[in-house]
A and B are shown apart, each in its own frame.
Chain A
Amino acid sequence: MISLTVNGKAQQVDVEPDVPLLWVVRENLNLTGTKYGCGIAQCGSCTVHVDGSPVRACVTPISAVAGKKVTTIEGLSTMNDHPVQKAWIEVDVPQCGFCQSGQIMSAVALLNAKASPTDEDIDNAMSGNICRCGTYQRIRAAIHRAAALKGGRA
């Protein structure tokens, strides 16, 4: 049994220690918002927060997060009103949307670290997340918008 906290809730999972956090979240906890895209930390679709930092859940063994606090896309807000979610809706960022949970989790982490990111900051923080539909221009706009919303400059 491995204990961890997911979206504020204590969980105990009975899995092998090498199983990636991604599959525990998706298959044991039925939180399917976190996506599998590559399995080798190349696409960022599986991005979640562990103790507040963004990690690629597809290469994070469950044993490495024992006792830690995990936040998935489902834990970001209860009313879909996190500033990043609001900005994403305002700009209509997603197309197919499959990568967007990961994009949003990376963006939230960026904004937590830097309230008003520059375009260069966005490039650095977001270049680990692939979007095959090509929504990058809108992601950039939405991050700037979220920064404004968060800073009360809406």
Chain B
Amino acid sequence: MMTRRTLLKGGLAAGAGLAIGFPLVRRAGAQTPGVFAPNQWLKIDRDGVVTIVNSVPEMGQGSLTTTTMIIADELDTALDKVKVEQAPANPGLYANPVTKAQSYGGSRGVRDHIEMWRKSAAAAREMLKQAAANEWGVPVDQVETEPDTVVHKPSGRKLPYGQLVDKAQALPVPQNPKLKTPDQFRYMGKMVKRRDTPDKVNGKAIYGMDVVLPGMLIASVERCPVNNGKVKSFDATATKQIKGVKDVVQVTNGVAVVADSFWTAVKGRRALKVQWDEGALAQVSTPMINREYEAASKQPGEVARNDGDAEKVLAAGKPIEAVYQVPFLEHACMEPMNGTAQVTDGGCTLWLPTQNPGGHQQLAARLVGVPVDKVTVHTTMLGGGFGRRGEADFVTDAVEVAKAMKGTPVKTMWTREDDITHGFYRPATYNVFRATLDGNGMPHAWSTRVVGPGILIQKGRAPAGTKVDPAAVEAVRNMPYDIPNLRIEWVNKDYGMPLGFWRSVGPSQNGFIIESFIDELAHAAKKDPVEYRKALLGKSPRHKAVLELVAQKSGWGSPLPAGRARGVGVVFSYGSYAATVAEVSVAPDGTPTVHKLVTGIDAGIAVNPDQVKAQMEGGAVYALTAVYYGAITLDKGRVVQSNFHDYQMLRINEMPVVEVHILDSGEAAGGLGEPGVPSVAPAVTNAIFVATGKRIRTLPIDRNALKRA
């Protein structure tokens, strides 16, 4: 749990980090009489009602609660009375101060914003204190605050914030307000209940799919069975005869049927006759990709890292070799993609479950042909994000349909089948490892060649001339183990399968391959896998600390019931260090059971410890689903899987006990949405090796290979 020491260190780290530049600007339109609005993040009215603006979309990670906790703490206001508004798309006011975009991925909600939010709220608190001090004619250093009240203890006088609104609003905004010291925190570091839970247990929470507008129509887009394919021609005669179908329009991603209900729209889609130009991906199938990956792995790749001379050392010895493979994966947010739009002469209004309000505002402006400020984006609740809802496709659908149906609000909805077959997939890769050990059994030379596509290069988001896609080698290139001769290469093999950022991205798969191969070396050296790693983590004390934490909490090395075994993994991602010890058994028929996951997380500061735990629990399930089931395959460019019967998810009967231990390092804030994922798969498969002697080098697990004869 969080200690005072940690909070102090974390607090100072957050307060002292001057690397991020952001002016404490006065809120736009702030001159409303009777409203104190020192910046875009909060306002207080004469009744003392505090309204906080949350810019980070609520996709389950708890941003509504955490953002509010941070701002309310520094402002010193009663958390249960605060109102929260979701920020509109307006990057000028609400962009992430680090990425400069109003787009949310990379587990950046807390870590990129905490300093700015704390300073913004602390500035407001200083202004309220100054206003009260002026009122009483006392020095400002004699006044302090209680929630929503400025207090002058020597005289016992008090003024509620609401009565200071007009005077505070007239004061200058301090640029370097003094932040609370951690011992003064009321909320940060403590367990606070989620603000959104009550409306998520009675059906009131509004997700994108739940948007209802007067006169609204429902659309659904028939898409090419092959990703990236285009409409050649279509015949909508039969569709238009269906009662309730209002229109059929061609859009970028296919043919949209606009109807009075979703059921009718889908019926209309089935009646369409569309000729497709299937495009290049129609020539691609998974066996072919695997063959060509293997062939490509025999050729040198682009060098991502080269310490010492691994090639020479490996050539002189007898390397331990292994090949690891992972498949394409789809996000499978519980809420299928959707978007609602209304295009009028004045512009465009959108209701979106979006991770990228700023980018989607720009996209809509371009599609409609209006200035960006004529596009209003309402961000709804997101039924899962995981990186999927930053993409453009579902918004393109919604805007193009609404543009065709000008004046009428239209909700454009995907089926689950659309969602699984038209995703932005986690890359499939083929990875060749070679290593030699020194006289003590420690790695002397190590080589990894990663073969697969690059997300950033495919999306045109890598700087020009980029030879090694940073996402493709993340958690390989920066692997923490201290090895004198280390070579990492990447071979770009991209068939045009749409790629995306799948919860924890590169580390989601690279954590598995690195943490598996290091485990192979430990076993080859006949050494304990935890001790072996620790010996190589001299330069990475935070990896080592979180590894030691899970080893200790899991009782690493202590006896287990017959048939059970433990495995371990430790991976850095998104600013945080995470480790897992898995306890597994494998039934004679090859079915693995994960009984328990003991996880550790060092995210610097845990603003809301219970939600840190929730993210680790959820990350474990996301990872385990991929270990057990996750595989998207292609047949002539068509995604073979289509729904939860053949793209299976972990269910409650397969849920292990997940223990989460928070390591309070007091370092700068790290991410939390993603770091819980990468260390889980290798911990599980390393445990399976101990239990069965069989090394899992391909995901998902092939249960037949684990069968005991």
Contact = CB atoms under 8 A, between A and B. Distances in A.
Interface of A: 15, 19-20, 23, 26-28, 30-40, 42-43, 45, 72-74, 76-77, 80, 84-85, 88-89, 92-101, 104, 122-124, 126-140
B645 interface: yes
A134 B652 contact: no
A92 B203 contact: no
A99 B60 CA distance: 11
Contact of B645 (A37, A40, A89, A137): A40
B622 A127 contact: no
Contact of B384 (A124, A133, A139): A133
Given A32-B209, A89-B198, A98 B658 contact: no
Given A123-B653, A132-B333, 5 more contacts: A35-B207, A37-B416, A40-B644, A74-B202, A130-B651
A92 B202 contact: no
Interface in B618-661: 618-622, 643-645, 649-653, 655, 657-658
A42 B193 CA distance: 31
17 contacts: A31-B203, A32-B209, A40-B644, A42-B645, A73-B201, A74-B204, A92-B197, A96-B59, A96-B335, A96-B382, A96-B385, A97-B60, A97-B197, A126-B652, A134-B650, A135-B614, A136-B651
B383 A98 contact: yes
Contact of A89 (B193, B210, B212, B262): B193
Contacts, number: 178
A37 B445 CA distance: 49
Interface string B202-223: 1111110110100000100000
Contacts of B332: 132
Nearest to B333: A132
A140 B203 contact: no
Contacts of A128: 651
A43 B655 contact: no
A20 B614 contact: no
Given A36-B336, A133-B384, A92 B194 contact: yes
Contacts of A93: 197, 201
A152 to B, nearest CB: 21
A95 B649 contact: no
A127 B652 contact: yes
Interface string B391-417: 000000000000000000000000110
A27 B218 contact: yes
A51 to B, nearest CB: 20
A101 B650 CA distance: 19
A40 B620 CA distance: 26
B103 interface: no
B619 A98 contact: no
B492 interface: no
Contacts of A33: 202-204
Contacts of A40: 416, 643-645
B384 A98 contact: yes
Contacts of B100: none
B202 A134 contact: no
B643 A42 contact: yes
Contacts of A127: 651-653
A95 B202 contact: no
A41 to B, nearest CB: 9
B374 to A, nearest CB: 28
A135 B198 contact: no
Nearest to B415: A39
A88 B310 CA distance: 54
Nearest to A58: B416
Nearest to B610: A92
Contact of B652 (A26, A98, A100, A123): A123
Contact of B263 (A19, A76, A122): A19
